[in-house]
Amino acid sequence: MARKQAEPAAADKDAKPAASRKKLFILIGAGVLALLVSVGGLLFFVLSGGSEQSAEEAVVVPAGKPVAIYQPLDPAFVVNYTHAGRQRYMQVNVVLMGRDAAGMATLTKHLPLVRNQLVMLFTSEEFDSLFTPDGKETLRQRATLAVQSLLEKEIGNPVVESVLFTNIVLQ
């Protein structure tokens, strides 16, 4: 009787590894299938997206007006002021906007002059006037006029349509 009970126990041990192997093969197969589906979907979207315009390219431009070209002036300008006996600072990130591609390419040769002109303008400002939105807008307009007049002298064309402040910090 003892021998009969030992035989089914041995059969159960042999059955468990076979079941474990089946589960392992099923899991590996499902993993490979998921990987293939993922790669196939990625390839589909990458390859099918080439013939259509992306969201960035689909910008609607009014008829007759060229697309704006932006030239960031890096690094940011940092200017110090003495205000009410304390040291104050202004940090401003500047981007030049123009619409003439050839003119903007020529502008890159004169960026040190443009940076110098803007530093001189920023240091000549009164710190109190920079706290209001109107003061910041006035400074932006003055910067635009200063850059345009400098470029008019240097290259004969005020290539820059506008000077933009993308970030301004007063401390």
Average pLDDT for runs of 10 along the chain of length 171: 55 61 82 73 63 45 79 92 86 94 90 94 88 92 95 91 93 87
Model pLDDT, residue 129: 86
Model pLDDT, residue 23: 83
Query: What is the CB neighbour count within 10 angstroms for residue 88?
Result: 15
Model pLDDT, residue 58: 42
Domain boundaries, the chain: 1-59, 69-170
Q: Distance between CA atoms of 158 and 10, rounded to whole angstroms?
A: 93
Model pLDDT, residue 85: 83
pTM: 0.61
